[in-house]
């Protein structure tokens, strides 16, 4: 069975600084998808970034980028130039291609951005 | 109207009560999901409906009863709940084959407290 582990329950960062959130996963699959979802306080969870395992290039979305290390089964999220609006819970998630849209989530990391 | 709407936002009920959570999506998606979010635990997938048919039931106790009368509406009927069922219940939708794989659209959640 696939599992997703986020070992940092809480993180904090000062505005304009860079922060990295960690995620590891366990699977025997070779092809799969990885995601970072953001859940702001009392607001809807939204997809931040996704990575397809067969792509070696790390995904990037504006200030958000990932460091995907397939052999190590590691998938960290880097947020550059942190903004107050980045304060949220961040969930790492895994999906096997044959289980379309059935996501396995981690426990989340609560990120606080300070002015 | 936002994409996925959940009501009520907050619900307090006794263990002998019967209540229902409602989810409505205005995105034209054909798949809908119930997730349970508890503190310090991974998001738990409870039920998946595709084209109004239940395709996934992750060993959820029978005190939780889902209903999907059409592709836009999803209910979670609650009865004889336990205090450990207190959590944030999230509804999500997607359109496999059209939305990006793994891209779920979430509601804001219904915060349930069982006394």
pLDDT in tens, A42-91: 889 999 999 999 988 999 999 999 999 999 999 999 999 999 999 999 99
CB-based contact A106 B56, cutoff 8 Å = no
CB-based contact B103 A47, cutoff 8 Å = yes
**CA–CA gap between residue A87 and residue A103 (Å, rounded):** 23
Write the pLDDT tens digit of every residue in A91-109: 999 998 776 678 999 999 9
Considering A69-78, A98-107, B35-44, B98-107, the range whose residues carry the highest mean pLDDT is A69-78
**CA–CA gap between residue B64 and residue B46 (Å, rounded):** 9
Beta strands in chain A (DSSP E): 3-5, 10-14, 19-21, 24-26, 33-39, 46-52, 60-61, 64-69, 74-79, 88-95, 104-105, 109-114
Residue of A nearest to B2 (CA): A44
CB-based contact B106 A35, cutoff 8 Å = no
Rounded to a whole number of angstroms, the distance from the CA of A18 to the nearest CA of chain B is 25
CB-based contact A43 B42, cutoff 8 Å = no
């Amino acid at each position: 069975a696939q599992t997703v582990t986020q070992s940092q329950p809480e993180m904090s960062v000062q505005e304009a600084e860079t922060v990295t959130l960690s995620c590891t996963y366990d699977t025997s699959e070779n092809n799969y998808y990885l995601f970072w979802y953001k859940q702001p306080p009392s607001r809807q969870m939204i997809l931040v970034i996704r990575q397809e395992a067969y792509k070696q290039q790390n995904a990037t979305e504006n200030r958000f980028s990932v460091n995907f290390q397939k052999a190590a089964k590691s998938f960290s999220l880097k947020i550059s130039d942190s903004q107050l609006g980045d304060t949220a819970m961040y969930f790492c998630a895994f999906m096997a291609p044959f289980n379309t849209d059935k996501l396995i989530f981690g426990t989340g990391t609560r990120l606080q951005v300070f002015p | 109207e936002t994409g996925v709407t959940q009501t009520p936002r907050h619900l307090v009920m006794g263990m002998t009560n019967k209540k229902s959570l409602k989810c409505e999506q205005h995105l034209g998606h054909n798949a809908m999901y119930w997730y349970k979010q508890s503190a310090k635990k991974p998001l738990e997938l409870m039920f998946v409906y595709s084209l109004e048919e239940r395709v996934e039931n992750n060993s959820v106790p029978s005190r939780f009863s889902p209903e999907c009368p059409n592709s836009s509406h999803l209910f979670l009927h609650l009865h004889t709940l336990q205090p450990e069922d207190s959590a944030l219940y999230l509804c999500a939708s997607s359109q496999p084959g059209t939305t990006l794989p793994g891209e779920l659209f979430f509601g804001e959640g219904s915060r349930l407290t069982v006394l």
